[in-house]
């Protein structure tokens, strides 16, 4: 049997996102599996995994904002910008933080920012991954990349020689939270690094609704993998939906244009199309007044 949909997986520490994809391929017994946004090996949390026809909506899920809960330490910098690296600077902070000061510093990072990708990242420069160059002891020039910080909140903090701050951040795709921690340290003119990170939301997927790999394997063994699988249409619920007749549904599955009430789109370019019986048929794009054309048709998903 081929499964179609999205599995909200809780990725543990010590595994790459690709490792998780490999495990799900073996558990589900199918090759067509993909993830929706890389998590570093030492980062845990929400990792939506797409199966079968679900892999065709990866781009729409990975483009959505993501929320993280993390900790940063002031006074120490590492070559990886997180707790896994080698210490490259040690400069005790030696003063007490207060919440208002943290709030003021955090507020300065809200909105669109620029980040220099860390050397230990998967970005390619002249055809080579940065982390491969870093492992060779090389440091190369990297172009800044834009990211957006929607929310940045201090949850708790501890003073001491090397103060630690627990934070919550809602950010755009492509944000390096490790680098954000380093840049927050620079705002205090002190070295800093990230000590832990958990992704608690990825688009509409939340930590509470995730399954461990062991739980997914157990469900599959019991023939109940459907219990964990989110239908494709529901996985992209940020797009407005349109319900059409069964006859119109057959036209949609044949890829024919349809007329759409503009109120349905709510200023969105893409819409989910369902039949009255509840079958998810397609993603359509509004191309002109009242007319939508197929972006992706899902004929093989009942």
Residue 222 domain-assigned (yes or no):
yes
Q: 38 falls in which pLDDT band (50, 70, 90)? A: confident
Q: For 167-191, write each residue's pLDDT tens digit.
A: 999 999 989 999 999 999 999 999 9
The pLDDT score that the predictor gives to residue 130 is 63
- Claim to verify: residue 124 and residue 26 sit in the same structural domain: no
User: Is there a contact between 104 and 97 (Cβ–Cβ < 8 Å)?
Assistant: no
Asked whether residue 75 is domain-assigned, the answer is yes
Q: Tokens 């059409």 — which residue?
A: 244
223: left (phi over 0), alpha (psi -120 to 50) or beta: left
How big, in percent rounded to 5, are the helix, strand and coil portions of the chain?
A: 25, 35, 35
Cα(246)–Cα(273) distance, integer angstroms: 11
Residues 83 and 181 grouped into a single domain = yes
Distance from C-alpha of 65 to C-alpha of 148, rounded to nearest angstrom: 9
Question: Do residues 235 and 46 lie in contact, with contact meaning Cβ atoms separated by under 8 Å?
Answer: no
Q: Do both 166 and 144 map to the same domain?
A: yes
Written as six digits, the tokens of 199 are 């992704």
pLDDT computed for residue 259 by the predictor: 85
220 is a domain residue: yes
Give me Rg for the CA atoms of the chain. Answer: 22
Q: What is the pLDDT of residue 150?
A: 98
86 & 60 share domain:
no
User: Residue 189 falls within a domain, yes or no?
Assistant: yes
The token pair at 34 is 């993909």
- 123 & 192 share domain: yes
Residues contacting residue 215 through CB under 8 Å, at least 6 positions apart: 228
Burial, 18: exposed, middle or buried (Cβ in 10 Å; 0-12, 13-18, 19+)?
exposed
Residue 254 lies in a domain: yes
| Confidence (pLDDT) at 265 | 58
Report, as an integer, the average pLDDT of 226-235.
96
Close Cβ partners of 223 (under 8 Å, ≥ 6 residues apart): none
Which residues fall within 8 angstroms of residue 21, CB to CB, at 6 or more apart? 33, 34, 35, 49
Q: Is residue 159 part of a domain?
A: yes
Q: Which of 19, 40, 267, 289 is catalytic?
A: 40
Average pLDDT, the chain: 91
20 and 84 both lie in a single domain: no
79 belongs to a structural domain: yes
User: Does the annotation mark 40 as catalytic?
Assistant: yes
Q: Is residue 302 part of a domain?
A: no
Do 71 and 198 lie in one domain? The reply is: yes
CATH number of domain containing 284: 2.30.130.10
Grade residue 267 by pLDDT with cuts at 50, 70 and 90.
low
Percent of all residues in the chain with a pLDDT value above 70, rounded to a whole number? 90
263 and 293 in a common domain: yes
> Following DSSP, what letter does each residue of 85-145 receive, concatenated?
S-EEEE----S---HHHHHHHHHTT-EEEEEPPPSSSS-EETTEEHHHHHHTT-------E
Q: Distance between CA atoms of 142 and 245, rounded to whole angstroms?
A: 53
Supply the range of the domain harboring residue 176: 66-202
Give residue-wise pLDDT tens across range 123-132: 666 666 666 6
- At residue 236, the 3 state secondary structure works out as coil
pLDDT at 266: 60
Same structural domain for residues 171 and 91? yes
Last-in-domain residue among 217, 233, 249:
233
Instruction: Please check the confidence at residue 67 and state whether its pLDDT lies above 80.
Output: yes
Judge contact between 82 and 193, C-beta under 8 A.
yes
User: How many domains is the chain partitioned into structurally?
Assistant: 3
* CATH number of the CATH domain containing 145: 3.30.2350.10
267/254 same-domain check: yes
Does 24 or 301 have the greater pLDDT score?
A: 24
Q: Are 182 and 98 in a shared domain? A: yes
Model pTM?
Answer: 0.91
Each residue of 146-168: pLDDT tens digit? 999 999 999 999 999 999 999 99
Task: Indicate if 254 and 285 belong to the same structural domain.
Answer: yes
Q: Say how many residues make up the chain.
A: 302
């Amino acid at each position: 049997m081929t499964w179609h949909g999205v599995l909200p997986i809780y990725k543990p520490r010590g595994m790459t996102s690709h490792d998780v994809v490999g495990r799900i391929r073996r558990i589900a017994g199918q090759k067509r599996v993909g993830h929706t946004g890389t998590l570093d090996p030492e980062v845990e949390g929400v990792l939506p995994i797409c199966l079968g026809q679900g892999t065709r909506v990866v781009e729409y899920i990975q483009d959505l904002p993501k929320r993280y809960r993390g900790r940063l330490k002031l006074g120490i910098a590492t070559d990886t910008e997180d707790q896994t690296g080698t210490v490259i600077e040690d400069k005790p902070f030696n003063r007490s933080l207060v919440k208002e000061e943290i709030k003021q510093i955090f507020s300065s990072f809200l909105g669109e920012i620029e980040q220099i990708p860390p050397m230990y990242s998967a970005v390619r420069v002249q055809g080579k991954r940065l982390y491969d160059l870093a492992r060779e002891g090389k440091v190369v020039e990297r172009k800044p990349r834009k990211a957006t910080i929607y929310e940045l909140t201090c949850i708790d903090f501890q003073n001491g020689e090397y103060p630690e701050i627990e934070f919550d951040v809602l950010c755009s795709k492509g944000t390096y939270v490790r680098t954000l921690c380093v840049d927050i340290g620079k705002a205090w003119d002190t070295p800093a690094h990230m000590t832990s990170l958990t992704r608690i939301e990825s688009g509409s997927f939340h930590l509470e609704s995730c399954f461990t790999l062991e739980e997914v394997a157990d469900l599959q063994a019991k023939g109940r993998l459907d219990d964990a699988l989110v239908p494709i249409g529901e996985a992209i619920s940020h797009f407005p939906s349109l319900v059409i007749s069964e006859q119109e549904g057959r036209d949609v599955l044949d890829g024919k244009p349809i007329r759409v009430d503009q109120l349905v789109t709510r200023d969105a370019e893409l819409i989910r199309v369902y039949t009255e019986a509840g079958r998810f048929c397609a993603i359509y794009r509004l191309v002109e007044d009242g007319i939508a054309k197929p972006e992706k048709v899902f004929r093989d998903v009942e």
